Amino acid sequence: MTNQDLYQKDKENYLPTFNRFPLAFIKGKGSRLWDANGKEYIDLLAGIAVNNVGHCHPKVVEAIQKQTAELMHISNFFVSPQQVALSELLVKISGLDRVFLTNSGAESVEGAMKIARRFAHKNGRGGKIISMQNSFHGRTLATIATGQEKYQKGFEPIPVGFSQVPFNDLEAVQSAIDKDTAAVILEPVQGEGGVIPVEKAYLEGLRKLCDETGVLLIFDEIQCGIGRTGKWFAKDHFGVQPDIMTLAKGLGGGMPIGAFLCNEKVAEAIEFGDHGTTFGGNPLAAASAIATIETIAENQLCKRATETGAWLKEKMQELIEKHEELESIRGLGLMLGVKLKSPGAPLVKQLLEEGIIANATAVNILRLVPALNISKEDLQIFLDKLDEILIETKITS
């Protein structure tokens, strides 16, 4: 079947929640994708920061195949060796103490906020959650309550107990905290909000403020974690430890799995029956996550993301100086955003026609979140195509 055939069938049967491109991808390898018509693409989106070790990495594929043949699912009434091994790995690389495995990012955030409220109630506080303006923590009812108003419209009534303050504004958080505040949640690098890193002084001040007031600090590392920014977690750039941290996206190497982690102080407030999941941390997903983490460690992909990201920033800066349409570049490691002077959707479409997959977020930010092991050769092809498009656009405008 062709791209168009599959696109039409998708429109007939699937809920129209995604504004899809008329493309159907059928094969992936490393940083390359192939559509149903046989066209090859360079992928700079990686499933939105999911395929951190590239598509179908041999070690991840082998782990999935082996685990599929042995055991895919058991109830969480029982111990899973893969879940034990993954939990040990996550504790080791995060510096936190306890792990709960989930199926997705939104589920991880829901769980994080739920245990934050449990902790608060046991310590005589209310359950209010403070989040940041322009944040994104998921699309469930509770997670859209933390985020942007555009995702809330038409889904009222929104759950109560949530408020937003400006990002990187410590005084605003201080003013918002009261005796009923349970937690503050933020992304160390805002993703959907425009690839905006947190300021170090702000994060340090926020940690101090939370310690002084008894409020828990939650980091959402769903998009910026698992080596994406050049360290295991974006928090590691700032030397600030949260009470709770959420993960998903890059954790499974393409398999759906998420997690939330917490320190022992929070864990002590949790009792049998306080939370649960049917599929979260099943042997198959856990095996994939173990292989992904091991691949990143064995191939020093955090270091590579730092080096490749610095190189890409430098090359992009050359294009920024050459083309008026490009304004600036920001981000950490291989989580980068190029600020444009106009909406990014037309440029994304032009790049796609040239075989380059990227994404526009926050209207005018070209988001680049490729696999951590992408080659400079593939990135140079992107840079050359971008240069050509901008030259052609300038000539015809």
Q: In what order do the strands lie in the sheet with 244-247?
A: 98-102, 258-262, 244-247, 216-220, 181-186, 128-132, 162-165
* 147 and 253 fall within a common domain: yes
pLDDT tens digits, residue range 51-99? Answer: 999 999 999 999 999 999 999 999 999 999 999 999 999 999 999 999 9
User: Does 220 belong to an annotated binding site?
Assistant: yes
Question: Residue 34 forms beta bridges with which residues?
Answer: 27, 40
Asked if residue 60 is part of any domain, the answer here is no
Q: What is the CATH number of the domain that holds 252?
A: 3.40.640.10
Do residues 122 and 266 make contact, with C-beta atoms less than 8 angstroms apart?
A: no
Contacts of 220 (CB under 8 A, 6+ apart): 109, 112, 135, 137, 185, 186, 187, 245, 246
User: Does 277 belong to an annotated binding site?
Assistant: yes
Tell me the pLDDT band of 298, cut-offs 50, 70 and 90.
Answer: very high
User: Does 106 belong to an annotated binding site?
Assistant: yes
User: Does 337 belong to an annotated binding site?
Assistant: no
Asked if residue 47 is part of any domain, the answer here is yes
* 207 and 318 fall within a common domain: no
pLDDT of residue 310: 99
Whole-number Å distance between alpha carbons of 182 and 177: 9
Mean pLDDT of all residues in 306-312: 99
Residue 397 has pLDDT above 80, yes or no: no
Average pLDDT for the chain: 98
- Among the three residues 261, 281, 299, which one is the final residue of a domain in this structure? 299
Residue 260 has pLDDT above 90, yes or no: yes
- Weakest mean pLDDT among 20-24, 38-42, 146-150, 202-206: 146-150
Q: What is the CATH number of the domain that holds 16?
A: 3.90.1150.10
* 109 and 220 fall within a common domain: yes
Do residues 246 and 187 make contact, with C-beta atoms less than 8 angstroms apart?
A: no
Mean pLDDT of all residues in 262-277: 97
Whole-number Å distance between alpha carbons of 373 and 209: 38
User: Does 35 belong to an annotated binding site?
Assistant: no
In Å, what is the CA distance from 88 to each residue of 91, 97, 321? 5, 9, 47
User: Does 105 belong to an annotated binding site?
Assistant: yes
pLDDT of residue 147: 87
Q: In what order do the strands lie in the sheet with 365-368?
A: 326-332, 335-340, 365-368, 359-361
- Among the three residues 299, 322, 342, which one is the final residue of a domain in this structure? 299
Asked if residue 168 is part of any domain, the answer here is yes
Residue 213 has pLDDT above 90, yes or no: yes
H or E segment at 181? strand 181-186
Asked if residue 61 is part of any domain, the answer here is no
Whole-number Å distance between alpha carbons of 291 and 46: 17
Residue 182 has pLDDT above 70, yes or no: yes
Whole-number Å distance between alpha carbons of 280 and 285: 8
pLDDT tens digits, residue range 3-23? Answer: 999 999 999 999 999 999 999
| Domain count within the chain | 2
Mean pLDDT of all residues in 299-307: 99
* 240 and 379 fall within a common domain: no
* 290 and 313 fall within a common domain: no
* 318 and 388 fall within a common domain: yes
pLDDT of residue 49: 99
* 278 and 317 fall within a common domain: no
pLDDT of residue 393: 83
Mean pLDDT of all residues in 251-258: 98
In Å, what is the CA distance from 297 to each residue of 12, 34, 61? 43, 28, 17
Burial class (CB in 10 A: 0-12, 13-18, 19+), 332: buried
Asked if residue 14 is part of any domain, the answer here is yes
Closest CA to 26 of 43, 1, 60, 53: 1
Whole-number Å distance between alpha carbons of 265 and 211: 12
* 129 and 216 fall within a common domain: yes
Asked if residue 156 is part of any domain, the answer here is yes
Structural domain containing residue 182 = 71-299
Mean pLDDT of all residues in 334-354: 98
* 309 and 288 fall within a common domain: no
- Among the three residues 232, 266, 299, which one is the final residue of a domain in this structure? 299
* 247 and 386 fall within a common domain: no
Do residues 31 and 374 make contact, with C-beta atoms less than 8 angstroms apart?
A: yes
User: Does 306 belong to an annotated binding site?
Assistant: no
pLDDT of residue 395: 56
Contacts 24+ apart (CB under 8 A), 137-140: 137/105, 137/106, 137/109, 137/185, 137/187, 137/220, 137/222, 137/246, 138/104, 138/105, 138/106, 138/107, 138/109, 138/110, 139/106, 140/106, 140/107, 140/110
* 237 and 123 fall within a common domain: yes
Whole-number Å distance between alpha carbons of 159 and 235: 29
Tell me the pLDDT band of 396, cut-offs 50, 70 and 90.
Answer: low
User: Does 139 belong to an annotated binding site?
Assistant: yes
In Å, what is the CA distance from 166 to each residue of 135, 158, 170, 173? 10, 20, 9, 8
* 249 and 353 fall within a common domain: no
Asked if residue 64 is part of any domain, the answer here is no
Closest CA to 206 of 172, 245, 234, 182: 172
User: Does 278 belong to an annotated binding site?
Assistant: yes
In Å, what is the CA distance from 301 to each residue of 22, 55, 164, 371, 380? 33, 15, 35, 9, 19
DSSP 6: H
Contacts of 203 (CB under 8 A, 6+ apart): 188, 235, 238, 240
Asked if residue 381 is part of any domain, the answer here is yes
Residue 137 has pLDDT above 80, yes or no: yes
Tell me the pLDDT band of 149, cut-offs 50, 70 and 90.
Answer: confident
